[in-house]
Structure 1
Amino acid sequence: MYIYPDNLRAKPMLWLWELRDIGILGVGLILSVLALTQIHFAGLLMATAVFAFLTIRFEDTSILDFIRYAVAFLITRQQYFEWRLGQ
């Protein structure tokens, strides 16, 4: 008996990240630990943590996508409102 997910074309996920993001986080974490231990530079570790936070996905939308949508709605895109009196 095989159990298939609802959508076979969905991107593979592991916990809250896509597998591509997990790979990037793994490489970033290894490089961050090496940079921290060898040259005492914590900036790369902070960048990896920020990337991990921004790529968390909930229902096919990442936190970075949500921030982009919010900036577009509030700042960069023009809002158009049309007012009419009683119809």
Structure 2
Amino acid sequence: MYIYPDNLKSKAVMWLWELKDLGIIAVGTLISILALTQTGIMIPLAVTAGYAVLSIRLDDTSIKQFIVNAWKYCVGVQQYYEWRYTDE
């Protein structure tokens, strides 16, 4: 089922994922199954499943986006503080 965004500014979603994430998950699943059948390694399948869980979108936010924003706030972007003394 394809659900078009209500406010025309949010991204289009299918089931619980954005369409971009759904494409990444599909390609990752195909590569993971190929790796599993040819070499018996399950690591790519675990990475794809982890990405699928982290990118589930509820109420226009996802765990993956929260982690990215937290990383940017804590490590990625320099915080600017301005201290002032006011004599009242």
What TM-score do you get using the length of structure 2 for normalisation?
Answer: 0.69
State the one-letter code of the partner of 1:14: M
Q: CA deviation at 1:59?
A: 1.2
Q: Superposition RMSD on alpha carbons, in Å? A: 2.6
> Can you list the C-alpha shifts for 1:22-63, whole angstroms capped at 9, x where unaligned?
000000000000000001110000000000011111111111
* Count of residue pairs brought into register by the alignment: 84
In 1, Cα distance between equivalents of 2:13 and 2:52: 14
Q: Identity, % of aligned pairs?
A: 51
What TM-score do you get using the length of structure 1 for normalisation?
Answer: 0.70
State the one-letter code of the partner of 1:63: I
User: Aligned residue for 1:60?
Assistant: 60
In 2, Cα distance between equivalents of 1:41 and 1:5: 39
State the one-letter code of the partner of 1:55: S
- Structure 2 unaligned runs (5+)? 80-88
